[in-house]
Structure 1
Amino acid sequence: MALNFFDQFMSPTYLGIPLIALALSLPWVLFPTPSSRWLNNRLLTLQGWFINRFTQQMLLPLNLGGHKWAVLLTSMMIFLVTLKMLGLLPYTFTPTTQLSLNMGFAVPLWLATVVIGLRNQPTVALGHLLPEGTPVVLIPFLIIVETFSLLIRPLALGVRLTANLTAGHLLIQLIATAAFVLLPMMPTVAILTATVLFLLTLLEVAVAMIQAYVFVLLLTLYLQENT
């Protein structure tokens, strides 16, 4: 039977129960709970330092109205990074390779930024649809283009996550399959292929972290326009 490389992106089930629910709930269990003690261990200290630094960096372009989103955006960043790291382990499933899940994250958060902008500053929010100094002839055309650009933002967020992770996982599986096939025939080439596979895995770890950061960063930029 021919091997289908896209089988790794199918949501596995056990006794008819989709395991994506377990994959979505597991990351929260992995992080240690901060204690009320004055001195924590090294893991808690490193975790707190990372969260504080990321939150400070994320809030730099935002005004005070956008600081209310700090907990939500920081939690989203940590959640996405953990999901992607778990998905790189053998015999695991990466939920963020599913477009439906990514769109479920992107659409409500993007819609919330748009609703906030229309509620708090409707004139400024609608002003983004028409650049200042536009000739009268181009006004209807530019409004249509800017509206389409606004509506396509959540699709771009979801597709970016799905496409980048899917491509990386497919490439890892292709190279791993090649290494196993070449091992009995050409051991030297198989070792070189395994080395490339190790380097590609490190690259995929970096891509997973960067994509999670870019997802949250774009949400921050959308929020900045509407607060």
Structure 2
Amino acid sequence: MALNFFDQFASPTLLGIPLIALALTLPWIMYPTPSARWLNNRLLTLQGWFINRFTQQLLMPLNLGGHKWALLFTSLMVFLMSLNMLGLLPYTFTPTTQLSLNMGLAVPLWLATVIIGMRNQPTHALGHLLPEGTPTLLIPVLIIIETISLFIRPLALGVRLTANLTAGHLLIQLIATAAFVLLPLMPTVAILTATLLFLLTLLEVAVAMIQAYVFVLLLSLYLQENV
């Protein structure tokens, strides 16, 4: 029984063909394509307003050099949010519960920010490894600690997204199973459990949106240090 709880995190296959590529492609089909008309409908207007506000909020602290990443960050935010939200629907699969996918997104983007800093302003980028005013005896230790923290950043990005979504999905399944088991035995407790499940689902929707925002926000902060 315990193993079945984790089957929802296994990559789905059909006739031996993995369906994760379909799960990654599906979100882009669901968004309406902007039209060339002067006046859009309500959905396109709302979508454009949200993307403009998010991009403006995200790029406000960045220099002009970091504004080149606007399209990438906005697309990544919409993509991750769509994957996280669609994974809450029945009979669906959440690709972002796979650590390999999250690390595949986090490592190249983090590495790109580091390479940009090393290429454009190497002195400033390396200066982050040693805070100003450090005592002489602590210099080697602090450099080692800051270097380790620098290389842990992509791991923290991927693990944070995976752990939050996996824990939320698993908790929803556990409470839903408890509600079904308690329904014929103790209907009142089952109704209270179902109410708790509804509130937890709303919380998980918020978590799915917030974790996508946090992922992109941390990448923008890493970029801010290197531009």
Query: Structures share a fold, TM > 0.5?
Result: yes
**SS class of match (2:34):** coil
Q: CA deviation at 1:137?
A: 1.2
Moved over 2 A (4+): 1-4
Residue 41 of structure 1 pairs with residue 41 of structure 2: yes
**SS class of match (2:131):** coil
Q: Structure 2 counterpart of 1:137, which letter?
A: L
**1:92/1:111 CA distance change after superposition, 3 Å:** same
Q: CA RMSD in A?
A: 0.9
Spell out, residue by residue over 1:105-135, the C-alpha distance to the aligned partner (whole angstroms, 9 max, x if none).
0000000000000000000000111111111
| C-alpha distance in 2 between matches for 1:172 and 1:76 | 26
Which residue pairs with 1:54 in the alignment?
A: 54
Q: Any stretches of 5+ residues in structure 1 without a counterpart?
A: none
Q: CA deviation at 1:2?
A: 6.0
- Scaled by the length of structure 2, the TM-score of the pair is 0.98
Q: CA deviation at 1:3?
A: 5.3
Which residue pairs with 1:193 in the alignment?
A: 193
Which residue pairs with 1:81 in the alignment?
A: 81
Which residue pairs with 1:149 in the alignment?
A: 149
Which residue pairs with 1:6 in the alignment?
A: 6
Q: Any stretches of 5+ residues in structure 2 without a counterpart?
A: none
Percent identity between matched residues is 87
Greater CA deviation, 3-12 or 108-117? Answer: 3-12
Q: Structure 2 counterpart of 1:60, which letter?
A: M
Residue 183 of structure 1 pairs with residue 179 of structure 2: no
Q: Structure 2 counterpart of 1:186, which letter?
A: M
Which residue pairs with 2:140 in the alignment?
A: 140
Q: Structure 1 counterpart of 2:15, which letter?
A: L
| C-alpha distance in 2 between matches for 1:190 and 1:171 | 16
Which residue pairs with 2:161 in the alignment?
A: 161
Which residue pairs with 1:116 in the alignment?
A: 116
| C-alpha distance in 2 between matches for 1:207 and 1:2 | 24
| C-alpha distance in 2 between matches for 1:39 and 1:198 | 38
| C-alpha distance in 2 between matches for 1:2 and 1:200 | 21
| C-alpha distance in 2 between matches for 1:202 and 1:139 | 48
| C-alpha distance in 1 between matches for 2:176 and 2:2 | 16
